[in-house]
């Protein structure tokens, strides 16, 4: 009995090597070269073909290769009793926080303005900082770390979550108070999990409630953003620009209008990348826990979607 790794189009040889080094007893099969479906008790997934898990008669555990699980939950054929786990990695959190802070500080200190001035040989010392208040949508593991680091830097920050919470160490708003939250910030960071309730949340109706000239950073999932609404929101002044690391279609098509919009900065989904050396031990730990009927670590609540 062992694992199957299903991640079409991705080189998973590093994952195989690390897992085998950690536990030589575990048999590993890699999609599409699955020779014995009945020998698989656990699968490691990233963007798997929907419905394929029905081929594994003895499947007991589903492991995401990353922190996100929306790519798994989109497969409605997955049996409801199968547990799903995700990766929690300090390095992943470190990289994500640094990326978000980079985007916030670039806006705050107007780096793109000075890059343009340099090309024109312009020396302009006026108004070197844009005053900022940051709003973080999603206050879980990743969003909470961003908020903590911003507080340490002395930057005013607010958090937004799905439900009411008490005694938070920062100003906190739930979805029912979205309009008030948006009115108080001028940098908006989306770090929400992707669920049916949050898909398309970054849309024109939301942008119209933002403080004029709000700067948007999306590091969560491409489908949080209604892409056709972004450029009109910038042109109408609701947003001053955006930093985007995630998109509906990746790689972003060459004819996509975001490439040519100077107010939009694009990065190729690199804000935070799972480190197999940190992830593999968690997956093996859960595999052994599953075999011994012990509680799993980092198991998601399927009813919530994260």
pLDDT, tens digit, 9 for 90 and up, residues 40-81: 999 999 999 999 999 999 999 999 999 889 999 999 999 999
Residue 47 forms part of a structural domain: yes
pLDDT at 46: 93
Q: SS3 for the chain, per residue?
A: CEEEEECCCCCCHHHHHHHHHHCCCCEEEECCCCCCHHHEEEEEECCCCCCHHHHCCCCCEEEECCCCCHHHHCCCCCCCCCCEECCCCHHHHHHHHHHHHHHHHHHHCCHHHHHHHHHHCCCCCCCCCCCCCEEEECCCHHHHHHHHHHHHCCCCEEEEECCCCCCCCCCEEEHHHHHHHHHCCCEEEECCCCCCCCCCCECHHHHHHCCCCEEEEECCCHHHECHHHHHHHHHCCCEEEEEECCCCCCCCCCCCHHHHCCCEEECCCCCCCCCHHHHHHHHHHHHHHHHCCCCCCCECCCCCCC
**In the structure, what pLDDT confidence band is assigned to residue 1 with cuts at 50, 70 and 90?**
low
Q: Please compute the mean of the pLDDT values over residues 102-119 and round it to a whole number.
A: 97
Same domain membership, residue 140 and residue 180: yes
How far apart CA 19 and CA 30 sit, in angstroms, is: 12
- Number of separate domains in the chain: 2
The string of pLDDT tens digits covering residues 214-231 is: 999 999 999 999 999 999
pLDDT at 304: 84
Residue 64 forms part of a structural domain: yes
Sign of the Cα torsion 41, 46, 49, 51 reads positive
Q: Please compute the mean of the pLDDT values over residues 77-88 and round it to a whole number.
A: 95
The string of pLDDT tens digits covering residues 8-27 is: 988 999 999 999 999 999 99
Same domain membership, residue 111 and residue 215: yes
Same domain membership, residue 232 and residue 282: no
Residue 50 forms part of a structural domain: yes
Cα 245 to the chain's mean position, in Å? 9
CATH code: domain of residue 220: 3.40.50.720
Residue 306 forms part of a structural domain: no
Same domain membership, residue 216 and residue 158: yes
Mean pLDDT across the chain, nearest whole number? 96
pLDDT at 233: 98
The string of pLDDT tens digits covering residues 249-298 is: 999 999 999 999 999 999 999 999 888 999 999 999 999 999 999 999 99
Residue numbers of the domain that contains 25: 2-89+274-291
| DSSP-assigned beta bridge partners for residue 45 | 6, 64
**In the structure, what pLDDT confidence band is assigned to residue 305 with cuts at 50, 70 and 90?**
confident
**Catalytic annotation, residues:** 221, 269
Same domain membership, residue 74 and residue 95: no
Same domain membership, residue 114 and residue 261: yes
Same domain membership, residue 138 and residue 71: no
Residue 77 forms part of a structural domain: yes
Same domain membership, residue 74 and residue 121: no
Please tell me the pTM assigned to this model. Answer: 0.88
Residue 249 forms part of a structural domain: yes
Same domain membership, residue 245 and residue 103: yes
Same domain membership, residue 111 and residue 81: no
| pLDDT surpasses 90 at 172 | yes
Residue 29 forms part of a structural domain: yes
pLDDT at 274: 87
The answer to whether 151 touches 103, Cβ cutoff 8 Å, is no
| pLDDT surpasses 90 at 181 | yes
Same domain membership, residue 284 and residue 261: no
Q: Please compute the mean of the pLDDT values over residues 176-200 and round it to a whole number.
A: 96
Same domain membership, residue 144 and residue 17: no
Residue 299 forms part of a structural domain: no
């Amino acid at each position: 009995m062992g694992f199957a790794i299903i991640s079409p189009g991705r080189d998973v040889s590093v994952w195989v090597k690390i897992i085998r080094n950690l536990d030589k007893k575990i048999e590993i099969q890699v999609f599409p070269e699955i020779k014995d479906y009945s020998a698989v008790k656990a699968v490691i997934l990233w963007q798997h073909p929907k419905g394929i898990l029905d081929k594994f008669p003895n499947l007991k555990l589903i492991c995401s290769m990353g922190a996100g699980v929306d790519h798994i939950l989109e497969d409605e054929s997955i049996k409801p009793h199968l547990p799903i786990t995700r990766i929690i990695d300090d390095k992943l959190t470190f990289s994500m926080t640094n990326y978000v802070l980079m985007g916030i500080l670039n806006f705050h200190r107007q780096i793109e303005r000075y890059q343009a001035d340099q090309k024109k040989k312009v020396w302009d010392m006026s108004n070197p900082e844009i005053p900022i208040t940051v709003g973080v949508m999603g206050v879980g593991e990743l969003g909470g770390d961003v908020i903590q680091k911003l507080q340490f830097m002395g930057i005013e920050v607010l958090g937004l979550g799905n439900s009411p919470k008490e005694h938070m160490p920062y100003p906190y708003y739930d979805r029912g108070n979205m309009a008030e939250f948006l009115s108080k910030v001028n940098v908006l960071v989306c770090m929400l999990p992707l669920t049916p309730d949050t898909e398309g949340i970054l849309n024109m109706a939301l942008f119209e409630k933002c403080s004029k000239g709000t700067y948007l950073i999306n590091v969560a999932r491409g489908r949080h953003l209604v892409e056709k609404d972004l450029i009109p929101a910038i042109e109408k002044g609701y947003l001053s620009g955006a930093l985007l690391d995630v998109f509906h279609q990746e790689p972003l098509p060459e004819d996509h209008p975001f490439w040519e919009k100077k107010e939009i900065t694009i990065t190729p989904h690199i804000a935070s990348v799972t480190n197999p050396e940190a992830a593999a031990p968690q997956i093996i730990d859960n595999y052994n826990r599953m075999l011994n009927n012990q509680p799993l670590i980092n198991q998601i609540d399927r009813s919530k979607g994260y």
